[in-house]
Structures are given as structure tokens and as C-alpha cells.
Structure 1
Amino acid sequence: MENSKKIRVGIIGLGVIGERILNTFYKHPKTEIIAICDVVKERAEQISQKLNGVANYTDYKELLQNPNIDLVYVAIPPKYHHSVALDVLASGKHILCEKPLANSLQEAKELMEQAKKSGLVHAMHFPVYYTNAFQYIKNDVESGNIGEIRRIEIQTHFHKWPREWQQTEWIDGREQGGFVREVIPHFIQLTQALFGELEHIQSQLELPVDSEKCETGIMARMKLTDGTPVLVNGLSQIAQQEHLAFTIYGTKGTISLVNWTILEVGKYNEPTREKMLQLDNQPVDLITNIVNAINGDLADLIDFQAGYEVQKVLEALLQKV
């Protein structure tokens, strides 16, 4: 595809996650990065050099004035999503936003409403939804292979939080950081994508004495609309290697997504075993779906409406509503 037909991308925020998705955009045949922004000038200039000298800014509003940008990826801390994303929408550019959608339910609601009014493509970065592991889970649940769903469990255990590769001040803070905000939304989204609304949320947080620091543990119980229980077990600062699991227990089988990519399945009265998936069955990725949506083609996107639904659960888990 010629460069003129590619979706031209601007990126706001060049932290660990921002750079990771930047590389995905860079390698994608239908997108072209033409501008980047980070408040740390040296960081923006360094990444610009790696991208053959694309325009770089320290003020995102200057990036938004670039008329050639089609899509903006917002990869900044949650505290700033609301104001920046509103400005992106006001500029008439399509948007991909990091999770969580905002830093409060009211902010998320306003973003959802403005995104709908804009008529622009608006998407959330929930990449697990687009993996073949999740599609296998979805097919197994919808086909009835694991029988009646008895319970869903979300486990997020960390030997250290923030993790070694996440040493930024905000991610350790109670205002906008913590693993409940950073990790658990992925599993909330997967649960809602499979089963719909979550309700009757009861949450118990473990908080350090320092009121500036984020949670060190969470135990929560919620329900699907049919009454099926959903349990959350989160803990940090423990002598165990990081372990994440999204497990669905059924009357005919159990299926679990472990550490993002490992699929473990088991039938009635059998142990769970790792399921090797065929790579040629990989579903359409997030970036391709965004490109399709911008071009008016068929697309499957987790939009700001879904981001708002995740936020409702997240705020209840954090005992903010």
C-alpha cells in the first residue's frame, strides 16, 4: 500500500507501553507514524531519531495542530486521559486510548459521550481480546464445551509492584496507579466481552500506611446478571513469581488464561494442561481493526462505551463509588 493510503499516526506518551505500541504501529503495513510527543524532550528526540526524524513535540497541543494526522494514540498516565482525549476528539482526529479510559467515572462518562457525538473512531487498548487464546476461550464458552459456568476467578499476584520495568512514580501512587487500575481492567473487559454486565460488587482493599501509595491487595466478589460469582484475588509484595490467571470453571471443563498468553484447559475430572494453539488461526489484530474502522470497513473494536463499562467496575473495586 502506498504511503498516501496509510493511516497517519501521532503518539502522545513514550513510556514503556507507549513505545511498545509505537513499534507495532511502525511495523504495520497500513500505518505510518508521522509525529510523536513526550514531556521529556530528550526522550521525544531519541525516539524521533529511531523513526528517521519524524516530527517530535513536548506539547501535545502542538502535535494536534498537525493536519496530516489521522489517528492519535494516547499513552499517558490515567490522570491526564480526560483532558488530552477531549482535545484529540475536538481536533477531529480518531483516537486509541490506553486503559483505563479515565481517572474517575464522571470523566469516563464524559469521554464516552463526546466520542459518540464526534462520529470519530474511538478505541481502547485491550490487546488480549485480539489474541487467539481469548478467541479459543470465547468459542469454548459459546459452544457450551465447558458446560454451565459455575465461577470465574481473576488472580493477579506480584512479587513486586511496580514491576522492575515500571519504575515510574505515578504507577506506585494511590491517585492513579496500582495493579487494580493497571492490570485488572484487562480481565474485567474480557469478562464483560464474554458475559456482559457485572453487578453486586463488594471489594476489600489492603492499603499501606502511607496514604500516597497504592493498594497492596484486593479481595472482591461480584456477579454476572445470572448470579454466577466472579472473584478477584490480587496481592503484591509477596515471595512468589508474578502470576496472572483468568479462569472459568464449568460443569464440563475448566479453561484458564495464564500470564496473558498461556491457555490451560481441562475436562471433567481431568487435570488442566497447556493447550497449544495454531498460529495460523490468529484473529485480526487491534491495529488492523482500527485501520478498517477508519476506512469504513468491517471492524471489531473495544470502544469508549466498553471503556466506560470497565470503568464502572473499576471504580467500585477501588471503593470510589
Structure 2
Amino acid sequence: MGKIKVGIIGTGGIGERVMNAFLSHPEADVLEVFDGNAKRLAEVSAKYGIAAAADYRALFDNPDINLIYIAVPPKFHHQYVMEALHSGKNVLCEKPLASTVAEADEMLEAAESTGLMHAVNFPTIFGGGFLELERLARNGFLGNLRRVELHCHFEEWPRKWQQNSWISSRDQGGFVREVFPHYIQIILHLFGKISDVRSSLELPDDPEWCETGIIASGRLSNGVPVLFNGLSGLGMKEELRFNLYGDEGTLSLRNWSELWAARKNEPLQRIEVEGSNSYHAFIDELVKAFEGQPARIISFQRGRDVQEILDKLLKE
């Protein structure tokens, strides 16, 4: 199929980050971008020398574009994904896939019926820290798995670099919707289905504002407990910890990429792993998928399964 030729809808912080990854990859080109914020669109177009579309539909009509990357707020994912698929374009969508599992079901059905490539942007599983955690976990480092825990603590939400009109809203934003999906996907990838999800949210009085805390639990198919713990507005620097506790060893992925490990009678110690650009590794896999080779990409099916858990966590 040749190079991946990308059209991008949405040029916010994450959208620009992924755009840079495409631009620096030898097997990808970014041909055209669109953003509903005309000032932002002009800035990005001028900065990178990429054509700016006056209307997002121009990307669907561009015959040279073979992949649409959708990096807009979650409530717009369904609309843009459905239109892109109906226009015959392969789709990469930001997480979470949708606003509800019902929307995700429609998107998955449409994607599978077209035979087009469909993927969700979950870059963490391509990083060196996670890859080593996965290798150790699958090779028996943990012994018998006893518990899976996710702890996400934020000094403030939204973070200083995330100031926009939706990231703090209850219907689209919040750290559960923005950060938890990465780790839900990891749990599904490593251990399979999560069931019996029960959640308790801390919500501000203003119904427009997102959660400030969550304690939730679930179980893997073998009965192993899964704990979700999140808080914002804390007197500490942001810290993310994904912990796997076993009767022979413990693994902890901290702040996305740091891997810590311990065996019996040992303290947790950081394991130095070979660094890798997770976005470049992800695009390498997209290239394989475009060439019809087996590829490690996160399809809409997994995105839909993540959305199902997310809906249960956010149920008031």
C-alpha cells in the first residue's frame, strides 16, 4: 500500500504529539489537518507546513489520504469515525473510543462491516517499561497473581498543560475518562475480562464538573481482585502506579514508563529498560497492518471492551 498518508482531525496537545510522531516516521506523511479552532488550525498549519482544511469533510474527500486520525473531544468521536468509515478511510481514534458503550458498538459494527483498518491510540503498551513488565508477568515472575491495583493521584485536574473547554467537564473529561482507559486496556491485554465492577465516585456540587475521586473494584475471570483508586486536588506531585502483586513477586509500572520489581524478601527496585519511542513503535505496527502483516494494534473491539468498563466506573 505504500506510505501511510494521514489526515488529522483535532490538533490539541495529544493530536499534535501524535502528528509529530507521524511526521518523523519514514513510512508516514501528514497531508492535511483540520481543527474547529481556526486560530489553532492556522498556527499548526504554519508551524509544520501542512495544508489546512476549511472543512473536515475535505479530508474524507481527499483521495490521497488513507488514514484519518481523530483527536477531538470524546463526544465527537462517534460522528467523525462513522463518517470516515463511510468515506472508505482507515481510522485511528483517540481514546476513549466513544462516549458510551452503545456508541462504541455502532462504531465497531461499522468498522468490521467495511473491512477497513481500525485502531485506538493506546501507546503505553509499546513502551519499554510495559514490554518488560509483560515479559516478566508472562514468564512467571509474579507466581500466582493475588491482586491488580491502579493508583492515579493528581495535584490538580486538569493539569496545567491541559487547559481547554472540555477536559474538566463531567460529560467528556475527568481523569477516569482520560487516564484510566490506558490501564483498563493493559489489564484486558494481560489478564482478560473484568467483571463485577463496582464504583464509588466523589463528585463536586457543580454538575458540570468532573469527578475528584474514585474507589472502584472488579474481578478477573479467575477471581483475582482489581482495585481502581484515583484522587485529584492533592498536596503531592502527580503519581501513577499500576501494581501487580503475586505470591512470588511484585511488578509496578510507575508514571507510564518506569518499571519497578521485587521478589520475596526484596525491596522494590527500579529496573532499567531500553528506552523506546512508544509512538514510533505504534506506527511501525500500523505500517505492518497496512501491508497486511500481523500487527500489534488495538482494534475497536478492544476499545469497545474498555468503554464497557469505563461506563460502569463512571455510573453515578
Which TM-score band (shorter chain)?
over 0.9
SS of residue matched to 2:167: helix
SS of residue matched to 1:211: coil
Alignment equivalent of 1:39, drawn from 36, 39, 63: 36
With over 3 angstroms needed to count, the CA separation of the structure-2 counterparts of 1:89 and 1:285, relative to structure 1, is same
Task: Tell me what 2:100 maps to.
Answer: 104
Moved over 2 A (4+): 278-284
Larger mean CA deviation between 98-107 and 42-51 belongs to 42-51
> Structure 1, residues 234-276: CA drift from partner, whole Å, max 9, x if none?
0001111100010000111100000001110011121101100
Q: CA RMSD for the aligned pairs? A: 1.6
Task: Tell me what 1:144 maps to.
Answer: 140
Q: Give the CA deviation at 1:296.
A: 1.1
With over 3 angstroms needed to count, the CA separation of the structure-2 counterparts of 1:282 and 1:162, relative to structure 1, is closer
SS of residue matched to 2:166: helix
Q: Give the CA deviation at 1:79.
A: 0.4
CA distance in 1, matches of 2:304, 2:79: 16
Q: Is structure 2 residue 81 aligned with structure 1 residue 85?
A: yes
Q: Is structure 2 residue 291 aligned with structure 1 residue 295?
A: yes
Task: Tell me what 1:217 maps to.
Answer: 213
| Code of the aligned partner of 1:28 | H
Task: Tell me what 2:10 maps to.
Answer: 13
Q: Is structure 2 residue 211 aligned with structure 1 residue 201?
A: no
Q: Is structure 2 residue 308 aligned with structure 1 residue 315?
A: no
| Code of the aligned partner of 2:232 | S
| Code of the aligned partner of 1:211 | P
- 1:53-92 aligned at under 5 Å gives the runs 54-92=50-88
- 1:166-205 aligned at under 5 Å gives the runs 166-205=162-201
Larger mean CA deviation between 181-190 and 279-288 belongs to 279-288
Q: Is structure 2 residue 258 aligned with structure 1 residue 262?
A: yes
Task: Tell me what 1:29 maps to.
Answer: 26
> Structure 1, residues 113-142: CA drift from partner, whole Å, max 9, x if none?
111111011011000011121111111111
CA contact (8 A) 1:160 1:238 kept: yes
Alignment equivalent of 2:128, drawn from 128, 132, 139: 132
Q: Give the CA deviation at 1:281.
A: 11
CA contact (8 A) 1:264 1:275 kept: yes
Q: Is structure 2 residue 118 aligned with structure 1 residue 119?
A: no
For structure 1, which runs of at least 5 residues remain unmatched after alignment?
A: none
> Taking structure 1 as the reference length, what is the TM-score of the superposition?
0.95
Q: Percent identity?
A: 45
Aligned residues: 316
With over 3 angstroms needed to count, the CA separation of the structure-2 counterparts of 1:280 and 1:132, relative to structure 1, is closer
With over 3 angstroms needed to count, the CA separation of the structure-2 counterparts of 1:158 and 1:280, relative to structure 1, is closer
CA distance in 1, matches of 2:276, 2:183: 25
| Code of the aligned partner of 1:82 | H
SS of residue matched to 2:196: strand
Larger RCO (CA within 8 A; separation ≥ 6): 2
CA distance in 2, matches of 1:280, 1:75: 23
CA distance in 2, matches of 1:46, 1:27: 19
Q: Is structure 2 residue 56 aligned with structure 1 residue 50?
A: no
SS of residue matched to 2:197: strand
> Structure 1, residues 193-251: CA drift from partner, whole Å, max 9, x if none?
00000000000000000001000000001000100000011000111110001000011
> Structure 1, residues 66-113: CA drift from partner, whole Å, max 9, x if none?
111011100000000001100011111111100000001100110011
CA distance in 1, matches of 2:280, 2:51: 30
| Code of the aligned partner of 1:249 | Y
Q: Give the CA deviation at 1:143.
A: 1.0
CA contact (8 A) 2:123 2:278 kept: no
CA contact (8 A) 1:132 1:283 kept: no
SS of residue matched to 1:170: coil
